[in-house]
Amino acid sequence: MRLPGWLWSLFAILVLAIPIFACLDTLPIQLWDESRLAINAYELYKSKQWLVTTYNNAPDFWNTKPPLLIWIQVVFFNFFGVNELALRLPSAIAGGLTCLTIFWFLKDKAQKPALGVLAVIVLVSSTGFIKYHHSPRTGDYDAMLTFFSVTYSILYFRYLDKDKRYLLLLSLCFVTLAVMTKTIAGLLMAPGLVLYTIYKKKLLTTLKAPQFYIGLAIFAGVVAGYYYMHEQRTPGYFRAVVDNDLIGRFAKSSSVDGYMNRDFFYYINLAIDQHFHYWYLLALVGAIGGCFSVNSKIKDVTIFSLLLSLSYFVIISKSVNKSDWYDMQAYPFLAVLAAIGIWFICQMLLKIDFSNLTTKKPVFLFAAVAALTVTPYLASMNSSLNPTSGDWVVENTNICSYLKDVYQNPHMATDSVVVVKDKRYMANIEWYLKVLRDKGKFTQIAQLSELDKHSRVVVFQPAIKDTIRKYYQYDTVESKHPSVSIYQLKGRK
């Protein structure tokens, strides 16, 4: 019995729902990119100055990405309030749409909706796609970028397959959205698309299409127009973009990011060891089997996914700076290859003579697929239902969890408490203090040397606690949250 298409679509939605959307606001705002965007979005939400993003109410020349995601987050702030859920929902929705786009791609092109559901299972079970930062579960750029890049790639594939030129124009519109999300990172699928165009012998046809040049004009007008207007408003912005997002990311070592000195094979090893650990062998089976498949639809999908994945890995592997999340855009297409690998295994199992077995063939196939997919999928579900931050930010997460509780509970006593920290960058603490200050609660953040000796302080770093215990007289007011204590200072010893 063939299941109707809507039921397969429902299966895909159910599969992605928990790994992407469950407990989305449990963790506080995370350090680094999510917290930076949170401040950008909150300040824009208050100022209504849509062109220039700010940090501490000054033009932000550190985060120089275009503001498309930030604009969307501000819209969600207006609908859902200023909170973690509103900040992260745009990324979560983008992640869900990425899964559904991959599902639709396989359902439509390969005519195999079950293959699409398998690809969704693989994708949401991959830690390169679902993790505690830079994922559909956090409010940073990469989930939105991945959705736009996957969408423009598949639209372009459909243009080549169907020769419908409006799809070429639509693809270039999504390229524009990808670049307006994360600058040049939005173009990194383009080399793979060129290679596939050459493989399909349609390069000249594409270059002759008027829609290609209309799309390029839209791209140039939107992107160049934005950068021009921003530069006019804040001179020096474009120079910062070149340093931060172009030359700085790809060709210069960055002591700020700390992700240099990783070898060319770093991302391949990362995929095998962590980000695609459960699935890389199945993707290899899918790549080999698909390239030699007699099914022309499967063959085209395989070669397309393989060219995009490999070319993307080569490009990011040549970068001097290699952040762990730069490989995220590759995983939707690797998930396609892994799903094809599972499909080939099922095809081989179908050739087994079941006449002497008590188990019926459909039951056997279902058990085989379940054996391959259930464990990693349940692990992904558990990770989303019980989210944790990275070990390296535990203390930071603890203080932000405390501030999150204060923000959500108007009855928690706060008085005139000062959060004390060292000199390290912690924008998520700053975000909570900004929103609390606007509620008339916490007023400032300071270093210990800047305090009045009779202040009431919130401390969370062991070194600062030790200093207070050693050099100050104090009373402990509260010590309920992990590693977070409130002290009333009573003078120096």
- The per-residue pLDDT string of the chain (493 residues; one tens digit each, 9 = 90 and over) reads 578 888 999 999 999 999 999 999 999 999 889 999 999 999 999 999 999 999 999 999 999 999 999 999 999 999 999 999 999 999 999 999 999 999 999 999 888 899 999 999 999 999 999 987 889 999 999 999 999 999 999 999 999 999 999 999 999 999 999 999 999 999 999 999 999 999 999 999 999 999 999 999 999 999 999 999 999 999 999 999 988 887 766 666 554 445 567 889 999 999 999 999 999 999 999 999 999 999 999 999 999 999 999 999 999 999 888 889 999 999 999 999 999 999 999 888 877 766 666 567 777 778 888 888 999 999 999 999 999 887 778 888 899 998 998 888 866 666 677 888 888 899 999 999 999 888 877 667 888 888 888 888 899 999 999 999 998 988 998 887 788 989 999 888 8
Same-domain check for residues 300 and 226: yes
When divided into structural domains, the chain yields a total of 2
Query: Residue 342, CB half-sphere, CA atoms under 13 Å: how many?
Result: 27
149-161: b or e for each residue (b if 16 or more CB lie within 10 Å)? bbbbbbbbbbbbb
Same-domain check for residues 267 and 344: yes
Task: Supply the DSSP string of 130-157, one letter for each residue.
Answer: SSSSSSTTSSSSHHHHHHHHHHHHHHHH
Residues 6+ apart with CB under 8 A from 151: 97, 98, 101, 174
Contact (Cβ atoms closer than 8 angstroms) between residue 427 and residue 36: yes
Q: Provide the 10 A C-beta neighbour count for residue 166.
A: 10
Q: How far apart, in whole angstroms, are the C-alpha atoms of residue 463 and residue 111?
A: 61
Give the containing element (helix H, strand E) for 102. helix 84-109
The token duo for 449 is: 């040397």
Q: How far apart, in whole angstroms, are the C-alpha atoms of residue 51 and residue 226?
A: 8
pLDDT value, residue 441: 77
Q: How far apart, in whole angstroms, are the C-alpha atoms of residue 326 and residue 318?
A: 12
Same-domain check for residues 105 and 239: yes
Amino acid (1-letter code) at residue 357: L
The token duo for 290 is: 């698909």
Same-domain check for residues 371 and 398: no
| Domain-terminating residue out of 358, 385, 412 | 385
pLDDT value, residue 255: 47
Backbone angles phi, psi at 399, to 5 degrees: -65, -40
**Separation in Å, CA 40 to CA 63, 72, 74, 294:** 9, 12, 9, 52
Contact (Cβ atoms closer than 8 angstroms) between residue 63 and residue 28: no
Give the containing element (helix H, strand E) for 418. strand 417-420
Q: How far apart, in whole angstroms, are the C-alpha atoms of residue 466 and residue 472?
A: 10
Same-domain check for residues 333 and 364: yes
Q: How far apart, in whole angstroms, are the C-alpha atoms of residue 413 and residue 312?
A: 51
Same-domain check for residues 259 and 366: yes
State the pTM of this model. 0.94
| Domain-terminating residue out of 385, 419, 444 | 385
Same-domain check for residues 81 and 164: yes
Q: How far apart, in whole angstroms, are the C-alpha atoms of residue 86 and residue 125?
A: 24
Q: How far apart, in whole angstroms, are the C-alpha atoms of residue 416 and residue 480?
A: 19
pLDDT value, residue 406: 86
| Domain-terminating residue out of 361, 385, 409 | 385
Q: How far apart, in whole angstroms, are the C-alpha atoms of residue 69 and residue 85?
A: 15
Q: How far apart, in whole angstroms, are the C-alpha atoms of residue 380 and residue 128?
A: 11
Question: Which residues form the domain of 18?
Answer: 5-385
Order of strands, sheet of 456-459, starting from the edge strand that comes earlier in the sequence: 444-446, 417-420, 456-459, 485-492, 472-478
Strands 485-492 and 472-478, by their bridges, are antiparallel
Contact (Cβ atoms closer than 8 angstroms) between residue 285 and residue 345: yes
Same-domain check for residues 292 and 402: no
Same-domain check for residues 336 and 429: no
The token duo for 354 is: 């079941």
Q: What is the three-class DSSP state of 398?
A: helix
The token duo for 460 is: 């969370």
Same-domain check for residues 400 and 379: no
Amino acid (1-letter code) at residue 112: K
Helix axes of 331-350 and 280-291: crossing angle, nearest 10 degrees: 70
Same-domain check for residues 225 and 344: yes
Q: How far apart, in whole angstroms, are the C-alpha atoms of residue 240 and residue 308?
A: 30
CA-based nearest residue to 220, from 190, 175, 182: 175
Q: How far apart, in whole angstroms, are the C-alpha atoms of residue 274 and residue 272?
A: 6
Same-domain check for residues 376 and 401: no
